[in-house]
Amino acid sequence: MADACYVHVPFCRSICYYCAFCRWIYDENRIDPWLDQIQKEVHAKSISHLKTLYFGGGTPNSLSESSFIKLASFFKPYLDNNYEWTVECNPEYVTQEQAALYQKLGVNRISLGVQTFSNTKLQAIGRTHSIKQVTDAISYFKKAGIHNISIDLIYALPNQTLEEVKEDLAHTFALDVKHLSIYSLQIEENSVFGKWHILPCDEDLEADMYETVVSACVEHGFEHYEISSFAKEKAYSLHNLHYWSDQDFYGIGCGASGKENGLLYENTKDMQTYLKEGPNPVYLEEDNAFDAIMMALRTSFGLNVDQWQQKYQKDFHTIYQNVLRKYMPEYLVYEKPYLKPTPKGMEILNTILVDFLDVN
């Protein structure tokens, strides 16, 4: 039975130009029916206890105080003693009162969507916050007693230079947060950028930017524990570790994904359908054994080969002997029972995974 839960809050007050997530423009009339549906979904799941709870979006902190309290009340009874409860927040909606409310309700981790520290670039990607709102938001949460704060950054933005990425990193390090998630911009077809035919960043420049991100984070005391994630003082995202270590998790809400009994599912992304009929999950036919390898090798902790063999009843070393011979020990190392990517291996992970996939 799963002990992690992702709740998708699909409402946003404005749409970022790069966004291809399931999100809907905030509409007060939809909030109560949406909350009713979420409550029904929770009841149908027979959740026993939760180690991690994650409100993602969309923009969870665009909800009013009363709506957020109601949403929280559906999940609070299931939280373990030692839980991690993350809420994704957009800086422009964070107030001192909101930070205090979240702390009072028991939220103990914040993931703040910062993306860049250039006001010009923020406007160019359709974000509606300012740098001042970022620093204010962080100080409100810290003052309220929530110190486990993660920042999301995006690099390879349109016309961004390597120097500008370095500047974003310097601003980030000055904020004294424990966790960073840093992604390169992907131009998705159904985003505004996709429709505008914005060209992706030059591949070599993007690779240089990634290298710069990794080395700067490591120099500033962050552990590079997952391809795009960095932590100080072992403040890993415990919720995301569920995804990367092939564990089940509930996915609740319109646009959420989950995994139950080893099967991945996606709830409907259509709000009308969700409000009328509920989540209507579609179960995906995935190669679970390969997925487990792919997700685990994203992390520096690697794949527990013994557990994998037991779960999938396959002989890992025999099946993948050629891939292992090709990449060990420079890019992959085996520290029984874990197969781990080396820092160099993380840099070329996609290439390594293609070779794993080809064996299947």
Binding interface with ligand SF4 (CB under 6 A): 12, 15-16, 19, 21, 23, 57-59, 90
Shorter beta-carbon distance to ligand SF4: residue 90 or 160: 90
Rounded CA-CA distance 237/240 in Å is: 5
Rounded least distance, CB 91 to ligand SF4, Å: 11
Say if CB 164 and CB 191 are below 8 A apart.
no
Shorter beta-carbon distance to ligand SF4: residue 57 or 253: 57
**Residue (of 3, 24, 28, 170) closest to 81 by Cα position:** 3
Rounded least distance, CB 10 to ligand SF4, Å: 8
Shorter beta-carbon distance to ligand SF4: residue 95 or 309: 95
Shorter beta-carbon distance to ligand SF4: residue 57 or 251: 57
Rounded CA-CA distance 97/140 in Å is: 9
Rounded least distance, CB 245 to ligand SF4, Å: 26
User: Which single residue brings its beta carbon nearest to ligand SF4?
Assistant: 19
In this structure, the dihedral spanned by the alpha carbons of residues 14, 20, 23 and 24, taken in order and rounded to 10 degrees, is 60
Rounded least distance, CB 56 to ligand SF4, Å: 9
Shorter beta-carbon distance to ligand SF4: residue 21 or 243: 21
Q: How far is CA 31 from the centre of its chain?
A: 24
Shorter beta-carbon distance to ligand SF4: residue 93 or 338: 93
Rounded least distance, CB 129 to ligand SF4, Å: 10
**41: its two tokens:** 């979904």
Rounded least distance, CB 23 to ligand SF4, Å: 4
Pairing state between β 79-89 and 50-57: parallel
Rounded CA-CA distance 183/109 in Å is: 20
Shorter beta-carbon distance to ligand SF4: residue 23 or 298: 23
Rounded least distance, CB 49 to ligand SF4, Å: 29
Shorter beta-carbon distance to ligand SF4: residue 229 or 299: 229
**343: its two tokens:** 């820092």
Rounded least distance, CB 128 to ligand SF4, Å: 9
Q: HSE-up of 123 (CA within 13 Å, CB side)?
A: 2
SS (H, E, C) 122-142: HHHCCCCCCHHHHHHHHHHHH
Say if CB 197 and CB 189 are below 8 A apart.
no
